[in-house]
Structure formats: C-alpha cells, structure tokens
Amino acid sequence: MRSPGGSDNGLMAHVVSSVRMTLVRSVYGSCLMLFSKPFWEPIQSGDVTLTFRRWKRQQVVADRVYRSPAGRIHVTDVAVVTADAITDGDARRAGHRSAAALREELRGSPADPVYRIEFRYLDEPDPRDLLVNDAELSSDDIAGIDQRLARLDRAGKHGPWTRRYLELIEEHPGVRAPDLAELVGRETQPFKTDVRKLKNLGLTISQRVGYRLSPRGAAYLRRSGPDR
C-alpha cells in the first residue's frame, strides 16, 4: 500500500513529517482522535487501520468508538509494544512506507510506552450529526435538555451560564470566539470549552469562524425559558 499523499522519497518524507495524531478529552469522557488530512481518505477506504502513539499513559480503550476528522472509528485492539517490534507490514497499515519511517515519527519520551492501536472506520452517520438537526422536540426532550443544562450551570464556577451563551450565539452567529468571550467577561479558551459542552448536547454548531445555534438549539430556545 502506498502511503497517503504520495509514494516516492521526497513527497513521502514531506507527508510523513506532517503526520499529527493527538487525543483530546471531551467533556463527557470520550475522545476525539485527530489525524492529519492526508490520512482521512485512507482511513475511510480501509487502507489505514492501525496507528501507533507514544504516551505516558493509555488514552484509548478497545471496543469503544471515537470521533475523528475522517469520521467515526471503532478501536478494536490496544496493546503496548516496543518500537523495535513494529514491522514494515504494521507501518504500511498505519500509512507509513516503513517501520523505520514510522519510528522516526513517534513523539514523546523514549521512556514512554508505545501503544499499537487497531481500528476500523464506521461508514455510518455520527449520532451527533443526527441530533443537531432534530428540531422536533417533545416535552420530554425539553425537560431532558433542561436537566443537562442545569447540571452544567451547577458545575460552573461563574454561576448559571448555559442559557446566556445560547442566547449570545443566537444573537451573534459567526462572531469570533475571542470576541464572544469578551462580551461575557471570559478568557477565550475556557469560553470555547464551555461552548463545546453545548455542542455535545447538539445545541450549537462550530463554523469556520464562530458558532451558530443548531436547529435543535434554536428549537430549544423557542420552547423553553420563562419568557418563551
């Protein structure tokens, strides 16, 4: 299998050097697994079904689904291996031309364990995508969202904030996150973290710049609150 983005030495070296894979914890304990763009299509086609990462501690577990820019993937096996045990066959399954090239790309301390992660691409809609477009809210749906938002409000360190942020995004769609954060007196990164919690409930959508309410979020605001 040719590595994504090219095959010969110069182009392949460029592609391999661009590989980045990070795991970011979401607010509900699942993970977003990030791959650089040259790997998206090979993941979707099933050519890339393996990845390696050097971590201080294990970040993914087998038989769990994770989101990625290529779509949802199901991790089927996680094992600790030595870097020297990586074969050329494993490297090709991971989108690299050789084990030596893959080992050169492993980041982190050499003292940290290397994790061999097998996965398969799930060619099916992300339930979150279905959720954001579900604007037919029943009374039970409204009550469920109310409960989730109330928990977020109670957990916050700045008092109730969820409805304020939803209304802010409704009033200022497509406005940069730093500008929105300034309007509510917050630092940008904590503000974005909180908005991501609303996104995980299907209430907001991230845009290239700023955010907008999802159809579900807009329907919720219309149907809820003392003045609605």
Rounded Cα distance between 165 and 18, Å, is 36
pLDDT, average across residues 102-110: 92
> With left for phi above 0 and alpha for psi between -120 and 50, is residue 210 left, alpha or beta?
left
The pLDDT-based confidence of 227 (bands split at 50, 70, 90) is low
- Answer whether 0.75 is exceeded by the pTM: no
- For residue 76, the model assigns a pLDDT of 97
Type of residue numbered 145: I
pLDDT tens digits for range 153-192:
999 888 999 999 999 999 999 999 999 999 999 999 999 9
The domain spans of the chain are 9-124, 128-223
Three-state DSSP at 63 gives coil
* CATH topology assigned to domain 128-223: Arc Repressor Mutant, subunit A (1.10.10)
pLDDT, average across residues 142-147: 94
Give the H or E element holding residue 106.
none
Rounded Cα distance between 117 and 76, Å, is 8
In CATH, the architecture of 9-124 is Roll (2.30)
